Amino acid sequence: MIIQLIIGALMIGSVYGLVGLGYGMIYKASGLMSLAQGDMLMIGAFLGMTFYKYLKFPFMISLVLTMAIMFLLGMFIERVLVTALLKKGAQTVYVILCTISISMILQNVAMFSWGSNMMQFPSLFKRDTVLIFGHKIIPENLLALGVGMFCMVAMHFFMTKSKFGTSMRAAAQDEMAASAMGINVSATKGAAWGIASMLAGGIGVVVGPIFGVYMAMGAMIGQKGFAGAVVGGYGNMYGAIVGGIFFGFVETFISAYLTSSYKDFISFAVLILVMIVMPTGLFKEQVME
Amino acid sequence: MLETIKAKRWTFLFAILTLAVIAFMLRERYLSLILCFIAINSIAVTGLDVLFGYTGQVSFGHAAFYALGAYGSTLLSIRLGLPPLLTIVLGSLIATFFGIIIAFPASKLVKHFLSLLTIAFGQMVYMFVSVTDKLTNGFSGIIGIPRISMFGYTFKSTQSNFYLLLAVTILVLVVKQRIIHSRIGRAFIAIRENPHAASGMGINVRYYKIMAFAISAFLTGMAGAFYAHLVTFISPDSFMNTQSNLFMTMLLFGGIGTVTGPVIGSIILVVATELMQSFISYQMLIYAFFILAILFYFPNGIIGIYDHLKNLAISRKNRSKLTPANRSLSNQTSKEAD
């Protein structure tokens, strides 16, 4: 039983981690907060389901295609809406409000395109459970965990080893110095938003088979991902992952051993506690004025 | 007196027109209910304005205070049998208490994290009232909330409730006006503009932030309590984050940092909601576009547009009186007329 719990916790933890990673990346790159990541996950899940169920593409193709579309969507939002708003001299609060409206629009678009009922993925695997070391484990959980881990590792290598990733980190650290070095800062900002949406959408596609696909699935996950990012140190990529996994464990084990109806309440209470006691998070990022 | 009427003739005309519309609406129960909702939302959004418009503290979870006031007053009047007038005050105080608690961490955080904190708080209150069945009946909600009674007279009809709410709303607006034009209000504005400079001027930023949260929570909580006793039925659905977003939209639409802004915002959005009853599924989408329109085109809300037009009119009037000697003076005059 405990093995299933651990796998479940790791799985949902890596979902929160990837969503939080996206939030942190947006913050590091443009100094802004986007509250729409959860809905990116939702749109990704719907898109993936459409490709797999209705257009009968193979699963991996659906996944990659969804991620590509989500990347473009994220970039579009940044280039068109956020930059225009900033040009008018809007404060950060108004940009946050803008992302809230984007979140509402995405939810409504999903509702009009796919209806407000929960939709199911057709099963991905031929067996319901697989036997690993004598324990029954749902393969979709393993797939989600695997995709999540793969994305995190890929992000690590992209940001540290590749040229564009390094230039993104440089632009995040100091815009002016980076552009003086010839780095296209607006491209890195757009890419940051794009990557954040891409990761959220991608993990949405693998989470869809587990939870079902419905309009409101993104909201809670988005907020928990945000919470994970804060606990780990907002803006710090590794912190977001650690924080996400932390909340995954908190939630899963509280659900299993204590109470399942208050699990969200407790998660938020933990978040508020962390914000009071240790707002800089585990990896010590700057949050106060 | 006749001179004042002649000078402000447009304001008087507008006031008489408004009274005529209200009197017309009061003949019917449904329209009176709309007027009541406008009044309640005005009070709630005024609360948000004190916090966000004047002190610059973001709150995306204000429905939490609305819920605390509503549930607080309801439970006290139903479980303990206390008179509604008393429970409304007590409910507002419960909301104020939580406002002060949340103000402590909130006063330390930067705007981004403040948004998250307030969202989390809003979610927590919503989850608590929906999950704690024994206390709040969960999603089934609470029915049979008593109407307000005062000195033996019970406000049974919607119309009589409106008169009560109108009186309370006017009182709230007057109090807000007095607070704004006092030391406290100036401290709030200073904190909004530049907290460090304010602190350098000797303003105790922490203290005033907590006060802003307290006042804001009290007003919105009171609005929630009045809402509960008006519609006699509450359920967690009315207190989700959509309600918080609605308050924010009303505030931004009307114009932040003004006395009439929240009222105008409430009027427009309550009327819009009623008109949209047939396309209720589009509601969120339309609100989202409202917000985007405000953000991109009129960040100061309707009041901002009105001020802008007024300034244009004044500068145009002054331009005809320009001579080289007083050309620079006319710029100053139109600024001071704000």
Q: Residue B322 and residue A216: Cα distance in Å, rounded?
A: 61
Question: Is the predicted pLDDT of residue A122 greater than 70, yes or no?
Answer: yes
Enclosing domain of residue A144:
2-9+36-221
Residues in B closer than 8 angstroms to A96, CB to CB, are 58, 60, 111-112, 115
What is the reported pLDDT for A287? 54
In a domain, A252, yes or no: no
Residues in A closer than 8 angstroms to B295, CB to CB, are 85, 90, 94, 97-98, 101
Nearest CB to A264: which of B127, B248, B289? Answer: B127
Cα A105 to Cα A24, A33, A102, B93, B302: the distances in Å are 23, 17, 5, 36, 23
Show which of residues 18-57 on chain A sit within 8 Å of chain B, judged by CB atoms: 27, 32-33, 35
ipTM of predicted assembly, 2 dp: 0.83
Which of A137-141, B110-114, B138-142, B319-323 is predicted least confidently? Answer: B319-323
In a domain, A209, yes or no: yes
**Contact criterion met (CB < 8 Å) for B113 and A234:** yes
How many residues in chain B?
Answer: 338
**Contact criterion met (CB < 8 Å) for B123 and A227:** no
Cα A158 to Cα A22, A161, A166, A247: the distances in Å are 14, 6, 8, 26
Most confident of A252-266, A270-284, B222-236: B222-236
Q: What is the nearest CA distance from B55 to chain A, expressed in angstroms? A: 13
**Contact criterion met (CB < 8 Å) for B112 and A27:** yes
Instruction: List the structure tokens of A189.
Output: 């900002």
Mean pLDDT of chain A: 86
Q: Helix, strand, or coil here: B153?
A: strand
- Report the pLDDT averaged over residues A251-278: 83
In a domain, A172, yes or no: yes
- Report the pLDDT averaged over residues A199-214: 88
Q: Residue B60 and residue B121: Cα distance in Å, rounded?
A: 9
In a domain, A30, yes or no: no
Residues in B closer than 8 angstroms to A267, CB to CB, are none
Question: Is the predicted pLDDT of residue B223 greater than 90, yes or no?
Answer: yes
- HEC per residue, chain A: CHHHHHHHHHHHHHHHHHHHHHHHHHHHHHCCCCCCHHHHHHHHHHHHHHHHHHCCCCHHHHHHHHHHHHHHHHHHHHHHHHHHHHHCCCCHHHHHHHHHHHHHHHHHHHHHHHCCCCECCCCCCCCCCEEECCEEECHHHHHHHHHHHHHHHHHHHHHHHCHHHHHHHHHHHCHHHHHHCCCCHHHHHHHHHHHHHHHHHHHHHHHHHHHCECCCHHHHHHHHHHHHHHHHCCCCHHHHHHHHHHHHHHHHHHHHHCCCCCHHHHHHHHHHHHHHHCCCCCCCCCCEC
**Tens digit of pLDDT for each residue in B10-48?**
777 878 888 888 888 778 888 888 999 999 999 999 999
Q: Residue A251 and residue A267: Cα distance in Å, rounded?
A: 7
Residue of A nearest to B291 (CA): A101
- Report the pLDDT averaged over residues B307-334: 67
Nearest CB to B285: which of A27, A108, A227? Answer: A108
| B279 in reach of chain A (CB within 8 A) | no
**Contact criterion met (CB < 8 Å) for B296 and A85:** yes
In a domain, A236, yes or no: no
Q: Residue B36 and residue B336: Cα distance in Å, rounded?
A: 36
Q: Are the C-beta atoms of residues B146 and B73 closer than 8 Å to each other?
A: no
In a domain, A247, yes or no: no
- Structural domain count of chain A: 1
| B233 in reach of chain A (CB within 8 A) | no
- Report the pLDDT averaged over residues A14-22: 91
Which of A221-225, B38-42, B143-147 is predicted least confidently? Answer: B143-147
φ, ψ of residue B36 to 5 degrees: the values are: -60, -45
What is the reported pLDDT for B7? 64
Residues in A closer than 8 angstroms to B115, CB to CB, are 33, 35, 93, 96
Cα B211 to chain centroid, rounded: 17
Residues in A closer than 8 angstroms to B282, CB to CB, are 108
Which of A10-19, B149-158, B199-208, B269-278 is predicted least confidently? Answer: B149-158
**Tens digit of pLDDT for each residue in A68-96?**
999 999 999 988 888 888 888 777 778 88
What is the reported pLDDT for B68? 94
Higher-confidence residue: A71 or A139? A71
- Report the pLDDT averaged over residues A119-143: 78
In a domain, A51, yes or no: yes
In a domain, A280, yes or no: no
Question: Is the predicted pLDDT of residue B98 greater than 90, yes or no?
Answer: yes
**Tens digit of pLDDT for each residue in A97-112?**
888 889 989 988 888 8
Report how many Cβ contacts below 8 Å link chain A to chain B: 112
Instruction: List the structure tokens of B97.
Output: 């208490």
Q: Residue A2 and residue A212: Cα distance in Å, rounded?
A: 24
Cα A254 to chain centroid, rounded: 22
